[in-house]
Amino acid sequence: MNIVVCVKQVPDTWAERTLRPEDSRLDRASVDGVINELDEYAIEEGLRLAEAHEGEVTILTMGPDKASESIRKALSMGADKAVHVIDDGLAGSDALQTSAVLAQVLGRIGFDLVILGAESTDARMGVMAAMLAERLGVPQVSLASKVEVDGTALRIHRQRDYGYDKVEASLPAVISVVEKINEPRYPSFKGIMAAKKKPVETVTLADTGLDAGQVGLAAAATEVVSFANRPPRQAGTVVKDEGDGGTKAAEFLAGQKFI
Amino acid sequence: MDFAEYPDRAAIRDTVAAITRSFGSSYYSAHAEGRIATDELWAALAKQGFVGINLPERFGGGGAGLAELALVCEETAAQGCPMLLLLVSSAISGEVIARYGSEAQQQTWLPQLASGETRIVFAITEPDAGSNTHQLSTTAVRDGEEWLLSGTKYYISGVDGAGAILVVARTGTDAQTGHGLLSLFLVPPDAPGLTAQPLPVAAALPEQQFTLFFDGVRVGADQLVGDENDGFTQVFHGLNPERITGAAICVGIGRYALARASAYARERDVWGVPIGAHQGVSHPLAKAAIEVELAALMTAKAAWLHDHGQPAGEASNMAKYAAAEAALAAVDAAIQTHGGNGLSAEYGLVPLWSVARLLRIAPVNREMILNYVAGHTLGLPRSY
């Protein structure tokens, strides 16, 4: 089984993240880059499926030179090879443009299954799986908390507020995963050393066959018009226990959809 | 000269830090307070190949060097979980067995050390022979093809949970110098005639200390490591790794203490500004940061020399001295920065002070290092 996991490098989720005033783009230079958290779950699921079905896992990343750190980590976790789409002309691309680029590359390298994290911690659009599936003309099965593959049959549990739905599709397909699906592994020392020797193919904008005028900030379909800093944190809700504290706390949690 | 951090070193650091962070400094503090071995973290690190990173690949190790083992020691400590037994089991025992052990000993022990299944601890210190190894009085007396071990060892770390103890014993006397001739033996902790008695220490550590009483413990030729009477050379081979990893643990402790203290000093506000703005608070931290960084550089140099088969004694001693002093300065400044919280169980600084304070004494004390530098580096006469 040929599995491709799409990985995005994002600014460290725990660091202070800011937008650049000059072009309203995320300031990626001043913070460490890490693999988008949900993409680690996607990698793990890819590795598990590959182990169970004698498959191969390819990592697909679009990003600047720095994104090679994330590729390396994915390879050290056990992925077999990687494709790095890197081109200055892609800087500032929005989700639509990114999906166009990734779909072109996916079409060329071929796949049985494409796996993505359900959303990234930076843009938080959560649309890439849908866009890719649409462009590639294959089913999208989203928000998977469990994945089973049997021949070309694909069955997932889709995470819902009330539990899960069982969703079936056939391969080839695109899956997005949620964090409930597994526990991503740590790289092993041997994995770290092996990652150095694994093939990483570099793909430029010209290689994708897309026109330079279609991608990048200037041609983006979406635009950040303005932004404001998050307001300071509000005071918390105090539940005073008058014999019904438990009920009130439960009501609060239910109101916030925590339970 | 190249000071770049290679990607694989950065990856080792990141991964070891991530594994250790999933346990957290509170895990370490609680185990230290309870004198309970940090076996879960040991197993998690071993599973990913970090405990046996320096052991030969053909026995399941990582095939890397001391430089990489030092990274593991530093990063675990830098997350608030110093792993003292890495210094004993992976550095001394692992290096000595990998270098001098018989094929059968290597096949028996190295895969188990690499997988984290067991540890081998090291027994050299005696009540009447501390830093002076020539005075060791634990003897192994020939009895046909076997030996009978008798004597006492103390301050032996981690005997509980060890599969074997690497025991240094006197097997003869050099006719010319009168010094003891030493040999190394692998002894199971449950060997008949061996009693291990816990030795209570006030310093809160997860690694228990033991006094070992050998009363005619019978050991076979298959338990002798390397050649008979060649023990001094073999022990010597384990000393630099022990010092380098000890230094690395100290560097990690220093980094952890400074990170905690600066985070606290940036937030804590008593007179309208964060306390870190006061130089009485910031300067001791800044000074310790410089000392920790200098110690880290020397530790890296010592590991590099060792891994390249070059004389590493001077650099290892200097690194261990500098790192223990830097770690103590950093933890002390961090405790002072935290005020009363510095002594609280919650902030977990006191257990780290214990480890740093221990590493000023062991595996070689500060004064013996100064003696070494005075004698070897400066050519000064000895008083002993």
Query: What is the third-level CATH fold of B121-228?
Result: Butyryl-CoA Dehydrogenase, subunit A; domain 2 (2.40.110)
Sequence ranges of the domains in chain B:
7-119, 121-228, 233-377
Task: Kindly determine whether residue A76 and residue B11, on different chains, have CB atoms separated by under 8 Å.
Answer: yes
- The closest alpha carbon to B140, from B169, B168, B167, B164, belongs to B169
Contact (CB, 8 A) for B285 and B333: yes
- Residue A127 neighbours by CB distance under 10 Å: 16
Q: Encoding tokens for residue B40?
A: 């879960």
pLDDT recorded at residue B237: 87
Q: Which of B19, B62, B68 sits opposite A186 (nearest CB)?
A: B19
Q: What is the pLDDT of residue A31?
A: 84
Low-confidence winner among A225-229, B62-66, B252-256 (lowest mean pLDDT): A225-229
The whole-number pLDDT of residue B178 equals 82
pLDDT score, position A242? 87
Residues written for chain B: 384
Identify any residues that bridge with B146 across adjacent strands, giving them in sequence order. B143
Asked if the Cβ–Cβ distance from B62 to A73 is below 8 Å, we say no
Could you tell me if A59 and A79 are in contact, meaning their C-beta atoms sit under 8 angstroms apart?
Answer: yes
Angstroms from A16 CA to nearest CA on chain B: 15
pLDDT cut 70: percent of chain A above it: 100
Per-residue pLDDT band for B351 (boundaries 50, 70, 90) equals: very high
* Listed residue (B279, B252, B336) closest to B70, CA to CA: B252
- Name the residue with higher pLDDT: B193 or B6: B193
Per-residue model confidence (pLDDT) at position A50: 97
Q: Please tell me the predicted confidence (pLDDT) of residue B41.
A: 98
Distances (CA, A) of B246 to B89, B99, B311, B361: 12, 20, 18, 11
Region at A210 (left for phi over 0; alpha for psi -120 to 50; beta for the rest): beta
Mean pLDDT of B10-21: 97
Identify whether the C-beta of residue B186 lies closer than 8 Å to the C-beta of residue B121.
Answer: no
pTM of the model: 0.91
> What is the pLDDT at residue B38?
97
**pLDDT tens by residue, B244-261:** 999 999 999 999 999 999
Class of domain B233-377: mainly alpha
The two beta strands, B209-219 and B146-157, are: antiparallel
ipTM: 0.92
The arithmetic mean of pLDDT across residues B40-44, rounded, is 98
pLDDT mean over A221-249: 85
Q: Which chain A residues are Cβ-neighbours of B90 within 8 angstroms?
A: none
Tell me the C-alpha distance between B143 and B34, whole Å. 43
Q: Which pLDDT score is estimated for B27?
A: 97
Q: How many CB atoms lie within 10 A of CB B340?
A: 8
Neighbours of A178 (CB within 10 A): 18
Residue B12 C-alpha, separation from nearest chain A C-alpha, in angstroms: 7
Least confident of A33-42, A119-128, B214-223, B278-287: A119-128
Determine whether the interchain pair B11/A195 forms a contact, defined as Cβ–Cβ distance below 8 Å.
Answer: yes
Cβ contact A92:A220 at 8 Å: yes
Say whether pLDDT at B134 is over 80.
Answer: no
Looking at residue B93, the DSSP 8-state letter turns out to be I
Give the Cα separation of A210 and A240 in Å (integer): 61
CA of B255 vs chain A CAs: smallest distance (Å):
19
Average pLDDT, chain A: 93
Confidence band, pLDDT 50/70/90 cuts, at residue A258: confident
Structure tokens at A152: 């070309």
* Predicted confidence band of residue A77 (pLDDT cuts 50, 70, 90): very high
Report the SS3 class of residue A189. helix
A189 touches chain B (CB under 8 A): yes
d(CA B305, CA B319): 12
Single out the residue of B142, B121, B123, B148 nearest to residue B133, CA to CA: B123
In DSSP terms, A5 is beta-bridged to A59, A115
pLDDT band at A9 (very low <50, low <70, confident <90, very high): very high
Q: Could you tell me which CATH number the domain at B7-119 has?
A: 1.10.540.10
| Domain annotation for chain A: domains and CATH numbers | 2-219 (3.40.50.620)
What token pair was written down for A181? 């699906």
| CA distance linking residue B295 with residue A132, whole number of Å | 51
